[in-house]
Amino acid sequence: MLIFLHLLPPEAAHAATIFGLKLGLGPRLKNKSNLRQTLFGKEIRNPIGLSAGADKEAAVLPAWSKMGFGIVEAGTVTLHPRKGNPKPRMWRLPNDAVINWLGLPGRGLDPFIKNLAKFKKHTSRKDVCVGASIASPDGILDEFKILAKAVAPYVDYITLNASCPNVAHEDHAAEDTAAEHIKSAKLGAGRTPVLVKLGPTHDAVALERMVKAALTAGVDGFVATNTVPFTSSDLLAKKTFDWPTHHQKEVGGYSGPQLLQTAMWMVKEIRKHIPASMPVIGVGGIQSGEDAVRMLKSGANAIQLYTGLIAHGPALLNEIAAALPATSAK
């Protein structure tokens, strides 16, 4: 099945995957019972998460649960329907990497909420932590509040996508802008925790400013990190590919193995500035059990996958579960 999907164009392969999961064709993987932990006040089966982007409309949440994930972050959802960027907008790269320039396509909030509400009644939800990634492509504060208020009753946490490189209004949100976004989302979220997803960086001073601004705004946790845009391509030390272009301008964000070192560094840096009890989810470049262990040892409470799942299939979950010692659960 994985070989067949790799023969299709990337976006077609994703659509085929979602269609197959809707038909119940997804695998059912076993879970190690000694990896259970508590996250956002909920007991979950393991700290292995699916990152935003894989299930943009929360369309197949039961399938991810059966596959063995302990965390599923649906979205990113926007308030209104969006076509996204013109195609082609996804590219496979050598060495199990991907560049995407999707531009947050989707049908908007209403179908997303219907899918979340349906899954909330599903028995497989009981030991799976469900999150929703939200964004306002135009940075409209009221949209963050509306989105957060709408999804809060159905999820265990909300992630504010403050660093999506594939929309026009910004590459990386400055700390004051991110703080305003967080405040708005918090107004709508009520008691549901709000996390912020940070863009990749090796600038310790700028990262500290961002973290402290987010804390002052009331953030409940962090996700590190997002994809690497062309403007930050210096973070990719071994770049052996030509960046895709649209109208002679480089576009998209890189995800793949070269992101792991940056993501781990960011997790370690974030940990220096936040309370020990505050959750951090590490995402970026995790493509093996060893990668997952290293991310957790860097200070992450949990990890998220997407590109690794594309490259290696659901068997990666079993590999990671086998590599994680029981003591890794926090």
Concatenated DSSP letters of 222-283: EEE---EEGGGGGG-TT--SPPPEETTEE--EEESGGGHHHHHHHHHHHHTTS-TTS-EEEE
Share of the chain above pLDDT 90, in %: 83
Closest CA to 99 of 226, 199, 269, 244: 244
pLDDT in tens, 239-289: 778 999 999 999 999 999 999 999 999 999 999 999 999 999 999 999 999
pLDDT tens, 108-163? 999 999 999 999 988 778 889 999 999 999 889 999 999 999 999 999 999 998 76
Q: Are strands 97-100 and 90-93 parallel, antiparallel or unpaired?
A: antiparallel
> Where does the pLDDT of residue 168 fall: very low under 50, low under 70, confident under 90, or very high at 90 and above?
low
Determine whether 118 is exposed, middle or buried from the number of CB atoms within 10 Å of its CB (0-12, 13-18, 19+).
Answer: middle
Q: Decide if pLDDT at 53 tops 90.
A: yes
Mean predicted lDDT score pLDDT of the chain: 92
Q: What local confidence, expressed as pLDDT, does residue 166 receive? A: 59
CA distance 58 to 133: 10
pLDDT at res. 321 = 94
Q: Which of 157, 196, 195, 160 is nearest to 38 (CA)?
A: 157
User: Which residue's structure tokens are 């963050």?
Assistant: 144
Residue 165: the pLDDT is 67
Which tokens sit at 172? 């990386």
- The confidence score (pLDDT) of residue 122 equals 83
Token duo for residue 98: 């991907």
How high is the pLDDT of residue 171? 43
pLDDT(4) > 90: no
Identify the pLDDT of residue 167: 60
